[in-house]
Amino acid sequence: MHLFSGFQFRDWLLANDPALSRLRMASRVTLTIVFSFLVLLAIQIFIVPLPTAAFGLGIVLSIEGGVAVRDTGNTRQLVTRLFGCVASLGVVAIAAGLEDRRFLSDLVFLVVIALASAGRVFGPRGFAIGMFAFTSYFMGSYFRPSLAELPDVAIGPVVSVLFGHLVRAVLLPDDWRRDLLRSLESVRGRINQILFKLAALAGGAEIGEADRQELRQLEDRLKEVVLMAETFIPRPAGGVFDATADPAAELAIRLFDAHLAAESAIVLSFQSPPPFALVHAVIEADAAELAPYSAMAEAIRDEPQGETVRALLWLGEARQQLTQAIGEGQASGFAGIDAVKDTAQSEKIDFSFANPLLRSALQITLASALAMGFGLLLSRERWFWAVLAAFLVFTNTNSRGDTAMKALSRSLGTVFGIAIGLLLATLISGQLAIAIPVAAVCIFLAFYFLQVSYATMTFFISIVLCLVYGMTGVLTLDLLQLRIGETVIGAVAGTAVAFLVFPARTRGALDAALARWFQALEDLLNAIGEGKSGFELIALSQKIDACYRDVTVAAKPLGSSWSVVTRPGQIRQTLAIFLSCTYWARILAKSSTAPAEADELKRLIAADLALMKDAAAQGSTCFFIERKASRTTGRHLPLSREGARLGLEMIGSALERLYPQADVLPFAPGEVIARSKQG
C-alpha cells in the first residue's frame, strides 16, 4: 500500500512538475544556502570571526547561483560563476571604499545597475554576472563592511560559488537523458488525466460547457509538457530528422502521435462522448476488451460515434507506444540516442536602443533612481529595499502589462508574507532549533513555486526575512511596515517607468507573437503546397505549437485583474480559436502526403493563405472583438479518412472566426465546427 502510494505521489509530482525541474532548482538553491551557511559558520567558530556581510553575500549569491546561472554545460557554468564572483568582490570593494561618501556611493550604485542590466545583451552569462554584481553592491551598501574586512568578506562569495557548483555539477547535475525520461512520464501522466476525465464523462448524451473547459485546460497542460519533452530530444543542426531509422526520430514521432491522438480524442468527444467501457479498456491497455471496438468503428465509420471510437483506439495505441519508449529509456537510458553538440554561433550584439534589452536597461536604471529618491525620503538606512523591488519587477517581463502584474505580485506577496512571518516569528521566538528548519522549508517552497507564481515566491521569502529578523533580535512592527512601504515604492516606480519610458505595450508584444505564429502557419502551408512531407512538416507544426505558447504568454496581461470584469471572455475565445487552428495544423502535418498533386488541396491552401494574410494584417485586433457563444454543431469529422483536406478546411474555418461577419455564426469557445460543405 505504501509502495503504491509512493508511485502515486511520484506520478502526481511529474504531472505537476514535468522533468522535476522545479524540484531540482529549489533543492539546488536550498542545499547551496545550507552548505554555504554551515561552512561559513564553521569558519566563524573554528578559524576566524567573519563579518555579517560574508554571511549575507554567501546566502544571496547562493540564490543567484541557483537561479541566474543558465549556461549549458558544467564548464560554462563554472566560468560564469567565477566571473560572477570576481564581479561580486569588485563591487563590494567599491561599496566599502565609498562608504564615507554616501551620495557618490548611491550614484555608483545606479551605474552598477545600468551596467548589470545592459549586460543582458551578452546572453545568459551577461545576465548572471549582472545579477551577481547588482546583489553584491546591494549587500555591500546594506551591511557596510570596512576596507579592512574585505578579505574576510570575500570568503562568503567564494564559498557560495564553490558549493553552488558542487551542488549543480555533482549532487544534482543536469542530465538530458533523465530529464527526457521524466518529461515522457509527465506526458503519459497528463494523458492519463485526460482519459480519467473522459471516463467520468463517458456514456453521456453531451458534454457540458464546464467539462469542456476542464478538458481544454487539460489539453493546454499536455501541450506544455510536450513542448518541454521535445526540447530534450537531441536533433540535428537543421532541426529536422533525415530518417525514421534514427532512434531519436522514432521517439519524436511517438511523442507527436501521443499528443495529437489525445487532442483528437478531446475534439471528437465534444461531438459524441465515448463509451465508458472503451475508455476503461484504453486506460487498462486491455487488448481483449479493445478488439471489438475496431470492428465497431468500421461498422459506424460514417457516424460521429465511429470517429470518437477511432480516436480513442488511436490514443490507446499511441499511449502504449509511449509507454514502450519510457520502458526502453528506463532500461537503456536512451543509449541509442546521441547528444547533439552545441554548435550555436554567437550573434552580433545590437548596442542601439532598437534592442529591447538596452531599452529595458534604461528603464531599470530610471526606475531604480526614482525608487532610490523616494526610498531615501522614507528611510536612509533601508531604502535599498525600494531599489531591489524596482530592479526585480523588470526581470523576465515582455511588456508594461507584465511589469505591472509583477509589481502587484511582489507587493501582495510581501504584505501577506510579512503578516504570516510576523506571526511565525512571534510563536517561535528564541527557538532556533525550530526557526532554522522552518526558514529552510520556506526557502525551498519559494523557489519551487518561482516558475509558477512570483507572488508565492515573494510570500515565502518575506516569511524567511521575518524569521531572520526574529533570530537576530531586530524584528519590530515598524521595521516590517518600512519593508512594505519601501517595496511598494519600488513597485510603483517600476510600473510608472514601464508605462512612461520606452513603453512596451502589451498589444505590441502580442502583435509580435501573433506575427511569428502567422509566419509559422504560412511556412507550413507553403511547404505542403510544395509537396513536402514527413519530419519537415512535423517540425513546422511544432514551431506553430511553440509560437502559440508565446501568444498565450503575451496575451496573459489582457486577462489580468483590472480587465477581468470586461474582457476575459473574448480573450479566452480568441485563444481557443488559435488553439483550434494549431491543432488542425498538426493534423494537416501528419495527414499530408503529396498535396501539391491534388487540385482541391491546392485551392484550399490558397484560400487559407489569403485568409491568413488578411487576419495577420490586423494583428491583435481579434482579441478585442465581441463574440457570442454558440452551441451550433456541424457534421461529424471524418478525421480518419480525410485528415489533410479536413485540416485545411478547419484552419480556414478558424481563421474566418477571428473576424466573424454579421451573417456568419460566431465560433463557440474551444468548439470545433466543421464546414457544411462536403469534399
Q: What is the mean pLDDT of the chain?
A: 83
Least confident of 77-91, 250-264, 541-555, 614-628: 614-628
- Is-contact 274 309, C-beta < 8 A? yes
**Predicted pLDDT at 643:** 63
Residue 666 has pLDDT above 50, yes or no: no
Residue 418 has pLDDT above 50, yes or no: yes
Rounded to whole angstroms, how far apart are CA atoms 123 and 127? 6
Distance (Å) of CA 154 to CA 66, 67, 297? 19, 21, 72
Sequence-distant (≥ 6) Cβ neighbours of residue 276 within 8 angstroms? 199, 202, 203
Angle at 324 between CA 321 and CA 327, to 5 degrees: 155
**Predicted pLDDT at 238:** 62
Task: Provide the pLDDT confidence category of residue 457 given band limits of 50, 70 and 90.
Answer: very high
Residue 675 has pLDDT above 90, yes or no: no
Say how many CA atoms lie within 13 Å of 582 toward its Cβ.
28
Cell 543536469 -> residue: 174
Task: Provide the pLDDT confidence category of residue 641 given band limits of 50, 70 and 90.
Answer: low
Residue-wise pLDDT for 314-363, tens only, equals 899 999 999 999 998 888 888 878 776 555 455 677 777 778 888 889 99
Residue 277 has pLDDT above 60, yes or no: yes
Q: Dihedral, CA atoms, 309, 313, 314, 319, nearest 10 degrees?
A: 140
190 vs 346, which has greater pLDDT?
190
**Predicted pLDDT at 332:** 86
Q: What is the DSSP letter of 636?
A: -
Range 564-591 average pLDDT: 75
**Predicted pLDDT at 669:** 32
Residue 662 has pLDDT above 50, yes or no: no
Q: Which of 351-360, 602-611, 630-639 has the highest mean pLDDT?
A: 602-611
Rounded to whole angstroms, how far apart are CA atoms 360 and 375? 21
**Predicted pLDDT at 135:** 94
Least confident of 187-191, 209-213, 223-227, 558-562: 558-562
Helix (H, G, I), strand (E, B) or coil at 452: coil
Cell 574586512 -> residue: 149
What whole-number percentage of the chain has pLDDT above 70?
A: 86
Angle at 307 between CA 301 and CA 312, to 5 degrees: 125
Rounded to whole angstroms, how far apart are CA atoms 479 and 382? 9
**Predicted pLDDT at 567:** 45
495 vs 5, which has greater pLDDT?
495
Residue-wise pLDDT for 26-64, tens only, equals 999 999 999 999 999 999 999 999 999 999 999 999 999
Task: Provide the pLDDT confidence category of residue 420 given band limits of 50, 70 and 90.
Answer: very high
Task: Provide the pLDDT confidence category of residue 303 given band limits of 50, 70 and 90.
Answer: low
Q: Dihedral, CA atoms, 589, 183, 166, 89, nearest 10 degrees?
A: 50
**Predicted pLDDT at 671:** 37
**Predicted pLDDT at 472:** 80
Range 188-203 average pLDDT: 89
676 vs 587, which has greater pLDDT?
587
Range 467-494 average pLDDT: 89
**Predicted pLDDT at 158:** 95
Rounded to whole angstroms, how far apart are CA atoms 678 and 84? 64
Residue 284 has pLDDT above 90, yes or no: no
Cα–Cα nearest to 232, from 180, 185, 183: 180
Range 415-430 average pLDDT: 90
Residue 564 has pLDDT above 60, yes or no: no
Distance (Å) of CA 386 to CA 138, 392, 484? 11, 10, 9
Sequence-distant (≥ 6) Cβ neighbours of residue 436 within 8 angstroms? 471
Phi, psi (rounded to 5 degrees) for 370: -65, -45
Phi, psi (rounded to 5 degrees) for 350: -95, 115
- Is-contact 240 33, C-beta < 8 A? no
Distance (Å) of CA 44 to CA 24, 32, 47, 200? 30, 18, 6, 61
Rounded to whole angstroms, how far apart are CA atoms 591 and 538? 10
Rounded to whole angstroms, how far apart are CA atoms 544 and 665? 27
Angle at 91 between CA 87 and CA 94, to 5 degrees: 145
Residue-wise pLDDT for 147-185, tens only, equals 999 999 999 999 999 999 999 999 999 888 999 999 999
- Is-contact 654 584, C-beta < 8 A? yes
The alpha carbon of 487 is separated from its chain's Cα centroid by a whole number of angstroms, namely: 25
Cα–Cα nearest to 230, from 545, 632, 625, 618: 545
Rounded to whole angstroms, how far apart are CA atoms 8 and 411? 37
Sequence-distant (≥ 6) Cβ neighbours of residue 646 within 8 angstroms? 584, 587, 637, 638, 639, 674, 679
What is the value of pTM for the model shown?
0.83
Residue-wise pLDDT for 98-141, tens only, equals 988 888 999 999 999 999 999 999 989 999 999 999 999 999 98
Residue 672 has pLDDT above 50, yes or no: no
